[in-house]
Structure 1
């Protein structure tokens, strides 16, 4: 029986109650438990005090030398006792451990772990053990796991140790022998044993190295096999639009395409004309012209006799895209529908009927597009904008509304190209790297809160010249209410500061209709200053807005700040971004520096990745970017690339599909349902 088929309750000591609690950590089987890796180790190896630096944490063997002294302060207590270790006399101090007083008898041996204060000759004890009581942690590296609720560190350590005793012999090898030898990797069973119970740092690192490579290799193998199978499948939509038809549309555009847009258009058309499913990621900086590229693809789909769908994260954005696409397609008789949560009743019924009969060529919408009663006559292309804002399941539901339609995914969060190709190994990646002609760079300034009067003067100057401005409040995660209150307070103070201008308010608690009205008034220049939470981050296009002010800017990630900055600079006038922050942390200060030094989204993304790591960088766990148990896409990037190349080479080998040597890998793919032709999302 395989370890991933044995329920975790089979491990001695795991009660039905504890089993339920382990499920919260996604631990269901013995394999899940053994692959629940520690994120660091506590060092309980004994050291002589003479080797311990001031302020360092250390474990020492000592003897009780004096009588313990207990002091109480209400419910709290402080226990001190003189100790001897290697001819060194020092004071051991415990807080709120009054019950130890009776056990600290002169001459008794005790193992102490704590922080060493050389000046006072004092050890502030965090852990203490008496060797004469039996089992001891001292002398070892102890794993530290991510725990919570009723699962304690001690219980997790004991349970994983028990699982290794019961099932350690059953841990199978999965990697091909040639890769294990090529990289000098530990055997799998030993690596899992040693990652939980390392003898020393070197052994722990070698065990981690083995499991990091395995995790990244298996991830890449899934992508490469999926890719190979997808390219063999000839059951995608084969679009038949000719170049002359495409040129006619391009000539009708009110601007010249950039070289980058032309190149990306060719890549997309080549995919759409092929008989297998397109699965392409289009990434481009804020304002690089992704929407036009999406319009070209949608036009090609309609001219080939199919329908297209564009799914976006917000109603404001859906309405904006529907308006601009309708304007572009009107001369060609192409109909554009809009489907959002606000569209109900007769209007919704008519649109659904029109889609099902094929009378509506293109539909732009929010999550409303994936509701059960939405049917297409012939869906040939699915475009999702800002894909990281949709869950994996939502994207695949939309795709299943057609028969293997082509998929184009757009993001304005630029991802360093090498990382994109490797992380989205099953997707082809197109990049828009240049700005359309006429887009002016945005001047960015970082100021402290004490300069707010000058910022208000700047707002006054821009609005007096006929321009408009955004003023953004941070999202205070602990409470939406606080966030809204923050925005409302700021809105009231701006109304008082600018009695001659119209000030608008936009926040997440407003109804869709209220949000739409607030944006409509701003779009029409009926409000000149819009106080908002980060609702405006995605894709809102007001060419007359030239000033973006972000309060408490250090609360935002770099990519989010860059998105906000991209809301201005969309018209002919010079534009500015002012970041107001007094960052306490080095990371906050570094973010402000990066924002003032560059407005290149790819450079911002690279620095953001360095500062935050991939988990935060990509936002939600549903982003489609893999969540790894032990590997880290940034620090283990070289391993990720090697694993990708190894997996691609192996999949090209005919022996991979037949040889007994690769049976464990084929069985793994079978379990992951890759060989059933399941699409990876």
Structure 2
């Protein structure tokens, strides 16, 4: 019988005494298993180096000999600078310690010392972070030392020593969790060896091989959980098998004022197939800006309403909710389908009327913001929930809306094209549909990156477009002036453009305005009564004005790539050539790369890939509530190939009948049991 290391209190490790168990608890460590799982995030290399081969600014460890008398300069009562001349090989350099004046007496001429610090090539100076004198306890010279993410109460040295002790005491009891065939196929070391080498690497190569093994394990177990959930629940008859009137849906599609693309037809067929099954649909619909996701959602909602159900469309902003309501009303008018709006700005009376009508089934489709998930909202027969720009809603918000029906089908949409890697990670329990092509007739948007000193030319560009009867958006990162940030704000830019264009109507739109005022601004812009709209990113998502052909973004380097791509997607919706002008003076390389990516390509999937590289997955959605897993070692950008291997292997394993019964897979089944996969709870 194997010993469960997660049941052994951490204080059983020799050397963990006094307050240390409490301090470890602050890091989420209460058991030996959790301690061994607390991996370093990098390594310090204490290998001795030759200074002539070291780059300026690099961290280096050198063997030196004290060659002069140390000098101490005090700054106030506490701060100090200790300087001493030392000889490294044949090089005479200065070694500098800050706030270590007490070391002065140890630095006797002729004494050998090992110094680690930052090398300044120009000054021939080493700023010392660590130093070791021979014969003064344990040495780390010539080794690779792990660096852990720690609170101030726990020093690195203590943590290193403690984990060394934990590996010595319990390393042989670490159980294997990967199937034997995967260890052989991918040439992965045993788990006990990998854990030991992560904490005590003999070389960087050891650390990399150990990391490779543990990254595969982490991603494989995550995917095993997702694939097992799908295998156990895909045939579960807990949803509603809608009796769809397919001829009516086909007639609805034929009557649309435009032809669906092949991609839209394919995705709609996938959704209609799901709606007819007895299990709950859980599908992600992703597509580039302007790829036509809304019309696919409209046809899906139409199908459910015609089958006797109700539909809900949840969007992140009131402006978008109102726009979707108008669009759906136009499409559904010939069919007598009732569409209503439920947002926070309704009066009490209006809200009561909508809630009563929903409960009685008099409303077929409701469009709303997070107001849809409040406790007093009830449906008579909610059949399909569509969430637009789904990454803007937290996991909990989406699941609350889903619980308002008898396990309704769920379609989540995003115009932030998610790289396949991220989609299969974050939405491993979902089917992913992708709209790849844009509707015919769409001209690619021409994008230019310019600096602030070219503003006069940008104003001339705006004047040219408006004189030809077109309209322009001007986007600013802030509403009002900020003392902390030197960036353009919408109120100032609005005033400047009113002065620059007295012959045009220039309007202002931002999130703090009352809903009625925002509606009027958008109505006026849609009707071309306003020629230039100055706005914050409140118009980032979904606003559709075909006559707008110019998007100008101030301080564009302050936005993420996917956000800039969303903003650019507000133009290019009509027959005329459209343009996007990004005004930016990026101070760093990342900002420059963002501008280059935007001018290089209009492909949202390529933009998303580059955004992921520049920002990392945690920031990609702009929210911690995105439902993304928080891996200890794996990185969704650099480890994407391993992620795909892990997904394929997990899917293949759960398809084997023997997986659910054979003794060889008992460890994997125990893992699934701990993760409550057999409890029939819906994952989110």
TM-score by length of 1: 0.92
CA contact (8 A) 2:36 2:163 kept: yes
Does 2:673 correspond to 1:670? yes
Q: Which residue of 2 aligns with 1:433?
A: 436
Out of 135, 138, 147, the residue aligned to residue 132 of structure 1 is: 135
Q: Could you say if the C-alpha distance between residues 284 and 121 of structure 1 is closer, same or farther in structure 2, counting changes exceeding 3 Å?
A: closer
Q: SS of 2:135's equivalent?
A: helix
CA contact (8 A) 1:506 1:533 kept: yes
> In structure 2, what is the Cα distance between the partners aligned to 1:205 and 1:413?
33
Q: Which residue of 2 aligns with 1:546?
A: 549
Out of 145, 149, 156, the residue aligned to residue 146 of structure 1 is: 149
> In structure 1, what is the Cα distance between the partners aligned to 2:596 and 2:50?
45
- By how many angstroms is 1:43 displaced? 0.7
Q: Indicate the larger mover: 258-267 or 44-53.
A: 44-53
> In structure 2, what is the Cα distance between the partners aligned to 1:515 and 1:9?
60
CA contact (8 A) 2:361 2:380 kept: yes
CA contact (8 A) 1:475 1:483 kept: no
Q: Could you say if the C-alpha distance between residues 385 and 27 of structure 1 is closer, same or farther in structure 2, counting changes exceeding 3 Å?
A: farther
- By how many angstroms is 1:344 displaced? 3.9
- By how many angstroms is 1:497 displaced? 2.0
Q: Summarize deviations over 1:114-136 as a string: whole Å, max 9, x none.
A: 23456655433222133433133
- By how many angstroms is 1:629 displaced? 1.6
Q: Indicate the larger mover: 400-409 or 121-130.
A: 121-130
Q: Summarize deviations over 1:63-114 as a string: whole Å, max 9, x none.
A: 3232112234667543222334556544322234323212212343322102
> In structure 1, what is the Cα distance between the partners aligned to 2:569 and 2:50?
58
CA contact (8 A) 1:476 1:482 kept: no
> In structure 1, what is the Cα distance between the partners aligned to 2:333 and 2:674?
49
> In structure 2, what is the Cα distance between the partners aligned to 1:153 and 1:517?
60
Q: What does 1:587-666 align with in structure 2 at a 5 Å threshold?
A: 587-666=590-669
> In structure 1, what is the Cα distance between the partners aligned to 2:451 and 2:57?
35
> In structure 1, what is the Cα distance between the partners aligned to 2:456 and 2:51?
57
- By how many angstroms is 1:19 displaced? 3.8
> In structure 2, what is the Cα distance between the partners aligned to 1:575 and 1:518?
22
Out of 527, 531, 552, the residue aligned to residue 530 of structure 2 is: 527
Q: Indicate the larger mover: 125-134 or 270-279.
A: 125-134
Q: Summarize deviations over 1:181-223 as a string: whole Å, max 9, x none.
A: 2222222122122212211111101110110000010011011
Q: Indicate the larger mover: 183-192 or 214-223.
A: 183-192
> In structure 1, what is the Cα distance between the partners aligned to 2:503 and 2:17?
69
> In structure 2, what is the Cα distance between the partners aligned to 1:478 and 1:296?
44
> In structure 2, what is the Cα distance between the partners aligned to 1:3 and 1:304?
54
Does 2:320 correspond to 1:312? no
Q: Indicate the larger mover: 79-88 or 313-322.
A: 79-88
CA contact (8 A) 1:236 1:405 kept: yes
Q: What does 1:207-218 align with in structure 2 at a 5 Å threshold?
A: 207-218=210-221
> In structure 2, what is the Cα distance between the partners aligned to 1:477 and 1:45?
53
Q: Which residue of 2 aligns with 1:573?
A: 576
CA contact (8 A) 2:487 2:555 kept: no
Out of 211, 235, 256, the residue aligned to residue 253 of structure 1 is: 256
> In structure 2, what is the Cα distance between the partners aligned to 1:90 and 1:244?
85
Out of 77, 86, 89, the residue aligned to residue 83 of structure 1 is: 86
Out of 460, 464, 471, the residue aligned to residue 463 of structure 2 is: 460
Q: What does 1:212-611 align with in structure 2 at a 5 Å threshold?
A: 212-417=215-420, 420-421=423-424, 423-474=426-477, 486-611=489-614
- By how many angstroms is 1:327 displaced? 1.8
- By how many angstroms is 1:477 displaced? 13
Out of 36, 60, 66, the residue aligned to residue 34 of structure 1 is: 36
CA contact (8 A) 1:544 1:570 kept: yes
CA contact (8 A) 1:483 1:533 kept: no
Q: Could you say if the C-alpha distance between residues 88 and 575 of structure 1 is closer, same or farther in structure 2, counting changes exceeding 3 Å?
A: closer
CA contact (8 A) 1:422 1:641 kept: no
Q: Which residue of 1 aligns with 2:73?
A: 71
Q: Summarize deviations over 1:434-486 as a string: whole Å, max 9, x none.
A: 21133332121111111100111112222333322111112599979969982
CA contact (8 A) 2:480 2:492 kept: no
Q: SS of 2:581's equivalent?
A: strand
Q: Could you say if the C-alpha distance between residues 575 and 228 of structure 1 is closer, same or farther in structure 2, counting changes exceeding 3 Å?
A: same
CA contact (8 A) 1:68 1:104 kept: yes
- By how many angstroms is 1:561 displaced? 0.8
Q: Which residue of 2 aligns with 1:57?
A: 59
Q: Could you say if the C-alpha distance between residues 364 and 480 of structure 1 is closer, same or farther in structure 2, counting changes exceeding 3 Å?
A: farther
Q: Could you say if the C-alpha distance between residues 26 and 500 of structure 1 is closer, same or farther in structure 2, counting changes exceeding 3 Å?
A: farther
> In structure 1, what is the Cα distance between the partners aligned to 2:96 and 2:212?
39
CA contact (8 A) 1:33 1:160 kept: yes
CA contact (8 A) 1:552 1:581 kept: yes
- By how many angstroms is 1:643 displaced? 1.2
Q: Indicate the larger mover: 3-12 or 607-616.
A: 3-12
> In structure 2, what is the Cα distance between the partners aligned to 1:379 and 1:429?
23
Q: Indicate the larger mover: 556-565 or 288-297.
A: 556-565
**Number of paired residues?**
680
Q: SS of 2:118's equivalent?
A: strand
Q: Could you say if the C-alpha distance between residues 478 and 163 of structure 1 is closer, same or farther in structure 2, counting changes exceeding 3 Å?
A: farther
Q: Which residue of 2 aligns with 1:43?
A: 45
CA contact (8 A) 1:195 1:204 kept: yes
Q: Summarize deviations over 1:588-634 as a string: whole Å, max 9, x none.
A: 22222221222121222233233333333333232233332211122
Q: SS of 1:99's equivalent?
A: helix
Q: Which residue of 2 aligns with 1:95?
A: 98
TM-score by length of 2: 0.92
CA contact (8 A) 2:284 2:413 kept: yes
CA contact (8 A) 1:9 1:19 kept: no
Out of 1, 4, 24, the residue aligned to residue 2 of structure 1 is: 4
Q: Could you say if the C-alpha distance between residues 29 and 510 of structure 1 is closer, same or farther in structure 2, counting changes exceeding 3 Å?
A: farther
CA RMSD of aligned residues (A): 2.8
> In structure 1, what is the Cα distance between the partners aligned to 2:264 and 2:63?
69
Q: SS of 2:679's equivalent?
A: coil
> In structure 2, what is the Cα distance between the partners aligned to 1:483 and 1:308?
45
Q: SS of 2:494's equivalent?
A: helix
CA contact (8 A) 2:226 2:428 kept: yes
> In structure 2, what is the Cα distance between the partners aligned to 1:431 and 1:35?
37
> In structure 1, what is the Cα distance between the partners aligned to 2:356 and 2:173?
58
Q: Which residue of 2 aligns with 1:189?
A: 192
Q: Could you say if the C-alpha distance between residues 59 and 276 of structure 1 is closer, same or farther in structure 2, counting changes exceeding 3 Å?
A: same
> In structure 2, what is the Cα distance between the partners aligned to 1:241 and 1:315?
31
> In structure 2, what is the Cα distance between the partners aligned to 1:64 and 1:144?
29
